[in-house]
Amino acid sequence: MKDVEKSSMKVIVEKGQKYVMNTYGRLPMALVKGEGTWVWDQEGKAYLDFVTGLAVNSLGHGHPAVVSAIQCQAEEILHTSNLYWIPQQVSLAEKLVKNSFADKVFFCNSGAEANEGAIKLARKYAKEHYGEDKTEILTLLDSFHGRTLATLTATGQPKYQKGYDPLPAGFSYIPINDLEQLEEKMNDKVAAVIIEPIQGEGGVVPAEKEFLVKARELCDQYNALLIFDEVQVGMGRTGKLFAYEHSGVEPDVMTLAKALGGGVPIGAVLATDKVAAAFKPGDHASTFGGNPLATAVGCAVLNVLTGEGFLEKVQEKSANFRNKLQNLADKYQTGEPIRGEGFILGWPIKRLGPEIVAAAQAKGLLINFAGGKVLRFLPPLTVSEEELDQGIQILDEIFAEIW
């Protein structure tokens, strides 16, 4: 790490272009330190981090509970294999079950893996209970579920699928919140419907309660599983521990990742007992999934999130932030209202998105532009009111200058 810190940004970029596969349009900056809501780049410049690793660092950077869990577990044991019981994994599974609809948990390493596991589980369950022809997976346009071939196919955005033909068969798509098409597409061949309660990469688009209620009803009618992808919106991001709690609609399967590990890679598939029973030994696995380090950190994260008053404070702060964003949107007449829930908020704008993101970076605020249409805000759940106000002030300055 010391060698990296001593290298200039130019050298890092040159070496990165030479040795790292070109799969990201990376900004010419490197973040080398973080504390709370703040991060510092290679040159020592400080930024308010309202991206948080795309909703990963929900407790901010260097949270004492996360740091302590990593240090303590690293001194004990990092990896054993799922050939043996892992106490930390059992503890995290218990915490997730006791705080959700689910009865069982499978652990993996990422959101894509979690969604891949959910798709496999749905098909295995459908074949076991209803026959070989029940294989169809219904997903939503503008969704995002991962980069494996199956989750890429589940993702309702053709731009991500280009060049990877032939894609796996058995997937179909409808627009979010389109009740008519949902009813038209549902039939006895549908094994599962996959929904993000709020589409993140698609532009911070919430699924309406009426749509989720109808999806639950139709899944019950046609013996299909309802899967909620809460990889980005779960773990307190919306002000509740899980986004499905806002609608009261419970899924059969839910996927988690990102914030669950506080920055350490982890993914999870949660399911009811009846559905989880479709997986038998040998049906699915993950070498690193649920290892002692990741699950010890996951336990620490959950302890913080479920602490007295924590999520209530998130709701209060996020409501104030949303109101201030809406005041700016009204002030500069940008069009559609602010949308989202908790600390996943989107500001729809019809122009200058990349320019606003760049200007914010120059002024010390990190945000991003999602779906080619929305400024997305993902501050840590631990952000202070003062830091949120700093962000609002920077945005006000930018829009005054360039809008």
Query: How does pLDDT run along the chain (403 residues), one tens digit per residue?
Result: 455 556 788 899 999 999 999 999 898 899 999 999 999 999 999 999 999 999 999 999 999 999 999 999 999 999 999 999 999 999 999 999 999 999 999 999 999 999 999 999 999 999 999 999 999 999 999 999 999 999 999 999 999 999 999 999 999 999 999 999 999 999 999 999 999 999 999 999 999 999 999 999 999 999 999 999 999 999 999 999 999 999 999 999 999 999 999 999 999 999 999 999 999 999 999 999 999 999 999 999 999 999 999 999 999 999 999 999 999 999 999 999 999 999 999 999 999 999 999 999 999 999 999 988 999 999 999 999 999 999 999 999 999 999 9
Q: Where do the domains of the chain lie?
A: 2-63+309-402, 77-305
In terms of Cα–Cα distance, which of 272, 279, 277, 275 is closest to 102? 272
In terms of Cα–Cα distance, which of 89, 91, 123, 125 is closest to 109? 89
Identified catalytic residue from 41, 101, 134, 229: 229
> Which residues on neighbouring strands pair with residue 108, listed in sequence order?
267
Identified catalytic residue from 50, 106, 107, 144: 144
CATH number of 77-305: 3.40.640.10
258 is catalytic: yes
Q: pTM for this one?
A: 0.96
pLDDT at 8: 86
Report the topology of domain 2-63+309-402.
Answer: Aspartate Aminotransferase, domain 1 (3.90.1150)
Q: List Cβ neighbours of 382 (8 Å cut-off, separation of 6 or more).
A: 36, 37, 58, 59, 60, 63
Calpha distance 118→194 (Å, rounded): 9
pLDDT at 7: 75
Distances (CA, A) of 215 to 72, 186, 359: 44, 9, 41
240 is catalytic: no
321 is catalytic: no
Calpha distance 123→170 (Å, rounded): 10
Q: What are phi and psi of 81, to 5 degrees?
A: 105, 150
In terms of Cα–Cα distance, which of 393, 356, 392 is closest to 374? 356
pLDDT at 2: 52
Identified catalytic residue from 95, 258, 317, 324: 258
pLDDT at 371: 85
